[in-house]
């Protein structure tokens, strides 16, 4: 799959960051890479959830969403279910 221009730009920035920290002590480098990984997951995960919910709202099936997102339709189902606000159960 060809990278979009934006992804190519971000990849270059991440590559530059990795080169800049290459000479740091391993403990520092590992912490910085862990921070980067967590931040990327947080940002891309949130955007992925919104995009999947939007696609579902447009009538896309789980398999089509999964194929487009690079994950299984079962993962899509679980992720969408987990992202929905918990429904209040009526008192009995």
Q: pLDDT-based confidence at 55, cuts 50/70/90?
A: very high
The C-alpha atoms of residue 38 and residue 16 are separated, in whole angstroms, by 18
Q: Which two tokens stand for residue 49?
A: 């959830």
pLDDT at 84: 79
4-44 residue pLDDT tens: 999 999 999 999 999 999 999 999 999 999 999 999 999 99
The C-alpha atoms of residue 70 and residue 62 are separated, in whole angstroms, by 12
The whole model's pTM is what? 0.74
Domain boundaries, the chain: 5-83
- Give 84 or 28, the one with higher predicted confidence: 28
Residue at token pair 């290459």 = 22
Q: What is the mean pLDDT of the segment spanning 45-53?
A: 96
């Amino acid at each position: 799959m060809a990278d979009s221009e934006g992804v190519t730009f971000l990849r270059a920035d991440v590559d530059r960051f990795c080169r800049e920290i290459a000479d740091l002590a391993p403990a520092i480098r590992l912490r910085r890479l862990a921070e980067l990984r967590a931040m990327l997951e947080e940002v891309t995960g949130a955007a992925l959830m919104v995009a999947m919910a939007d696609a579902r709202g447009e009538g896309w099936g789980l398999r089509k969403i999964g194929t487009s997102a690079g994950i299984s339709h079962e993962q899509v189902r679980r992720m969408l279910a987990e992202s929905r606000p918990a429904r209040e159960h009526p008192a009995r």
